[in-house]
Amino acid sequence: MKKAAMIGVVVASSMLLSACGDEQAATTGISPQKYTDSLFAVMKADRTNYTKLIIKRLGPQGADAIKPHEYWEDLDNGAPLPAQMFRFGAEAVADMTTDFAYSLQSIWPINPQNAPKTPLEKEGLQFIVDNPGKNFYGEEDLGGVTYYTAVYPDVAVATPCIACHNAHKDSPRTDFEMGDVMGGVVIRVPL
């Protein structure tokens, strides 16, 4: 009898708690903007750390043990460029989940496939160039799904970034300077 009462209390408490949890989640759930802002913070931190802790420390400006290069796979000591590392992250995420997707794009892409494609991408990429320091947020329908789409500026923070883009024969723009917005990170969340 005692045991049955105890189970009843536990079950009732669980139901109550679970109901409270649902209510709480509904009222305090994270907003799409906060979600994409948070994702971008992680992406930016990882990219900065890779640039500083790996490329700068072990590359030609440091121990000269590795060679960061676009065709890194053809070199025994080749290492992906920070932008490539970023893209590999995006591709690995795409293999794991469809809850969000991201890409690195630019109005001046070295690879034309990385130019803005959808109307909102075009608007967002132009916005962050015209409004330095600001992010762009919007919604768009793609393939029958509505997405919350955020575009974050990708700013030139290291000289190798601008040196490579300015010298690259496939680069449509060759006058980047430090601090320029070179492109943008586009994050999408299905609503």
Partner 1 sequence: MTASKDGQGLLKGSAKWWMLWVLLTVGGGVYLGTELFISEQKALFLPGQTTHGHHQIEMQCTVCHADGFNSEVVLQDACMNCHGDELDDAQDSHPRSKFTNPRNAELLNHLDARQCVACHVEHRPELITTMGVSQPINVCVHCHTDIGEDRPSHQGMEFNTCQSAGCHNFHDNRALYEDFLLAHADEPKTLSEPVRPLRNFSARYFDKSGLAERLTAEQILSRAPVIKQPIPENWAHSSHAAAAIECKDCHGNEASWKEKPEHTVCESCHENEVSTFLQGKHGMRLAQGLSPMTPAQSELNIHVEKSHQELTCNTCHTSHDFDTRKAAVDKCIGCHNDEHSNEYLRSPHYTLWRKELKGEAAPGTGVSCATCHMPATRKGSGSKGRIFVDHNQNANLRPNEKMIRSVCMNCHGLGFSIDALADPVLVEHNFPGDPSVHIESIDMAVERDEKRGKRESIYD
Point out which residues bind partner 1 (CB under 8 A).
Answer: 67, 69-71, 73-76, 78, 90-92, 94-95, 98, 101, 103, 112-113, 117-118, 121, 142-145, 147, 167-169, 186, 188, 190
Compare residues 103 and 135 and give the one whose CB is closer to partner 1. Answer: 103
Separation CA 19–CA 56 (nearest Å): 51
Which CB, 5 or 71, lies closer to partner 1?
71
Q: How far is the CB of 22 from partner 1 (least distance, A)?
A: 29
Min separation Cβ 101 and partner 1, Å: 5
Residue 170 beta carbon to partner 1: minimum distance, rounded to whole angstroms: 8
> Between residues 52 and 69, which has the closer beta carbon with respect to partner 1?
69
- The answer to whether the beta carbons of residues 43 and 86 sit under 8 Å apart is yes
**Cβ(115)–Cβ(105) below 8 Å:** yes
Q: Which is nearer to partner 1, 134 or 168 (CB)?
A: 168
Is the distance from CB of 147 to CB of 188 less than 8 angstroms?
Answer: yes
Distance CA 104, CA 84 (A): 9
- Asked if residues 154 and 67 have their Cβ atoms less than 8 Å apart, the reply is no
